[in-house]
Amino acid sequence: MNKSEYKNVFVFAEQRNGEIQGVAFELLGKARDLAKDLQEEVYAILLGGNDVEKKAQSLIAYGADKVIVASCPFLKDYTTEAYSQAITQIVNTYKPSVILLGATVIGRDLGPRLSARLTTGLTADCTRLEISEEKELLMTRPAFGGNLMATIVCSDHRPQMSTVRPGVMKSMDMDETRQGVIEKIKIDFDESKFKVKIIETVKEQTSMVDITEAKVLLCGGRGIGTGQGFENLKDLAQLMNAEVAASRAIVDAGLIGHERQVGQTGKTVRPDLYIGFGISGAIQHMAGMEESEFIVAINKDRYAPIMQMADLGIVGDVRQIIPALTQRLKSIKK
Amino acid sequence: MKIVVCIKQVPDTTEVKLDPVTGTLIREGVPSIMNPDDKGGLELALELKDKYNAEVTVITMGPMQAEAVLREAFAMGADKAILLSDRKFAGADTLATSNALAGAIRTLEYDLVITGRQAIDGDTAQVGPQIAEHLDLPQVSYLQNLKYDGKKTFTIKKATEDGYQIVEVDSPCLVTVLASANEARYMSVRGIVEAFDKPVEVMGADKIQVDESKLGLKGSPTKVKKAFTKGVKSAGQVYEVDTEEAVGIIISKLKEKFII
């Protein structure tokens, strides 16, 4: 492979129901930094139904220099095969050096399929992306266990691909005066490969809460205990106009839905105030909250990992502190 | 129907502890378990075995110790087990792993290939879709529920960010399963007894038709350039006080931050 043929930083601009997802704008913000260091341009890939082109301008406003649009009924709703074929053709035509995808359900379905089809590397859930002196993409992600981070490179294959969770990167401010080029491409589909048929797509109301928008987040972990413990935390949250969130252990125990899970397999949050109740701070959890403005940790264990990250640490039993705190707040409000 | 289920032995992350001084992982004494999403995948296969008399083959790649996870699968009800083990597989990233697994699956007959959505020691969710690509199979990821018409067609409920999707696909295909899709069965007493007598087939790189340049470290496009301990930001203040005083400290901080 002649690596020098591969140029420019591409962002897969995921749309659902014709709406471009926020993570696409966040990735464009990061892509601008990378493109600047590479002295290359930022391209967005926009796939969708016949009217998707009208969304292209917003991608330019958020940092794309060029938007490659493929619009066609096959691309209206995401399917693995149609999207893989489209992006493979785009990669073979434009030869990007970098492709960034959101680590969404769609991005995590599409990314690995593409990496296998293109025979290149894919690094999942990156928390930091930068360009090395050798002009390589350095992809940093939490490695399993401990507070270990790993920086991954994909030296001999192109494009260098990585996924990033929503909320990890910051989008630039929208600039409607930015100029860019919109380029349409026609995809030559092999329809014989379309084997998965969508019967029905259902949106569920229950998952509408978006903890990534919360200013104050009360996050419950294993130490909170089962049963009443989490209910008490909800009461406290209501009193403080805060949202509740939880670690994986609590979600796995079925005490709260996955849409409120913070961490590598949940959501990445950056509230003004994060309070962890009985959270020990597994790396997977901390990857999802370390950017919080101010972190309070309440835990029985003085040496829990989260204590090293907390701006304020309280050593104590959350099962006593939550009711006491609720009581005190109620009396203050009176 | 013939089903192949890919499973992985992983450290039980809920048992992992950090050394309070060095901040590094304490590996000693951490038990290994069957990856939860994979267990959900195995349960799905065993339910199809119960209903349609499917034959279930489990396959794992890892060191010889990974045999334990295959014995557990036997005890739950799997029929055959393959351990992909060879130094040539070592150091594989997700793509090289998927090359090896796909190579092994190619030597088998299958109507359905099942993987877990992701493993708890890496959370990448890549190997399933990559195997599907190598085998030229349609994939359905994030499976919550599967219905089979007894002939050829699967109707699958898959999770999405804000709800779910119902899709239809014919065999052969590959699905990646969520642990929450079902309640995995326990090993049966009879299963445990029989598990030790059932043969585990060990496959090395010479048994699969995959070019060695696609396996292990050599076949991995991604490489770890460096691993480092996370720079901890200067720790804040930690108070070890009684409940009343703790509440007082928190309240004053909330006031300072204009939360209350």
Distances (CA, A) of A34 to A38, A183, A215: 6, 22, 30
| Contact with chain B for residue A273, Cβ under 8 A | yes
**For a pLDDT cut of 90, what percent of chain A falls above it?**
73
Which of chain B's residues have a Cβ under 8 Å away from the Cβ of A249? 14
**Residues with pLDDT less than 70, chain B:** 13-28, 230-235
pLDDT above 60 (res A208): no
Contact B227 A119 (CB under 8 A): no
Q: Among residues A239, A246, A253, which one has the least CA distance to residue A218?
A: A246
pLDDT above 50 (res A207): no
B255–chain A nearest CA distance, Å:
11
For the residues A83-106, what does the mean pLDDT come to? 97
Contact A148 B130 (CB under 8 A): no
Contact B239 A313 (CB under 8 A): yes
Strands B25-26 and B17-18: antiparallel
Band of residue A145 on the pLDDT scale cut at 50, 70, 90: very low
Report the range out of A55-59, A269-273, B241-245 with the highest average pLDDT: A55-59
What distance, in Å, lies between the first and last C-alpha atoms of chain A? 71
For the residues A21-30, what does the mean pLDDT come to? 96
> Two tokens at B56?
């279930």
For the residues A42-55, what does the mean pLDDT come to? 97
CA-CA distance, A159 to A222, in Å (whole number)? 41
Which of chain B's residues have a Cβ under 8 Å away from the Cβ of A199? 155, 166-168
Query: Which CATH number is correct for A206-333, 3.40.50.1220, 3.40.50.2020, 3.20.20.70, 3.40.50.10800?
Result: 3.40.50.1220
Please report the pLDDT score of residue A206 as a whole number. Answer: 55
Residue B229 parent element (H or E): strand B223-229
- Give the 3-state secondary structure percentages of chain A, helix then strand then coil, rounded to 5: 35, 25, 40
pLDDT above 80 (res A19): yes
Domain boundaries, chain B: 2-214
> Two tokens at B177?
């399963």
Which of chain B's residues have a Cβ under 8 Å away from the Cβ of A282? 13, 16
Please report the pLDDT score of residue A146 as a whole number. Answer: 42
Computed over every residue of chain A, the mean pLDDT equals 92
Interface of A with B in 9-38 (CB under 8 A): 16
Please report the pLDDT score of residue A227 as a whole number. Answer: 75
Which of chain A's residues have a Cβ under 8 Å away from the Cβ of B162? 203-204, 207-208
Contact B163 A203 (CB under 8 A): yes
Contact B239 A315 (CB under 8 A): yes
Please report the pLDDT score of residue A167 as a whole number. Answer: 80
| Architecture of the domain whose range is B2-214 | 3-Layer(aba) Sandwich (3.40)
Cβ-Cβ contacts under 8 Å for A312 (sequence gap 6 or more): A294, A295, A296, A297, B236, B237, B238, B239, B249, B250, B253
Q: Which residue of A has its CA nearest to B36?
A: A252
CATH 2.30.29.30 fits A3-193, yes or no: no
Q: Among residues A284, A285, A277, which one has the least CA distance to residue A313?
A: A277
pLDDT above 90 (res A139): yes
Please report the pLDDT score of residue A258 as a whole number. Answer: 83
Please report the pLDDT score of residue B230 as a whole number. Answer: 62
Please, where in chain A does CATH 3.40.50.620 lie?
Answer: 3-193
A213–chain B nearest CA distance, Å:
16
Please, where in chain A does CATH 3.40.50.1220 lie?
Answer: 206-333
B176–chain A nearest CA distance, Å:
10
Please report the pLDDT score of residue B178 as a whole number. Answer: 94
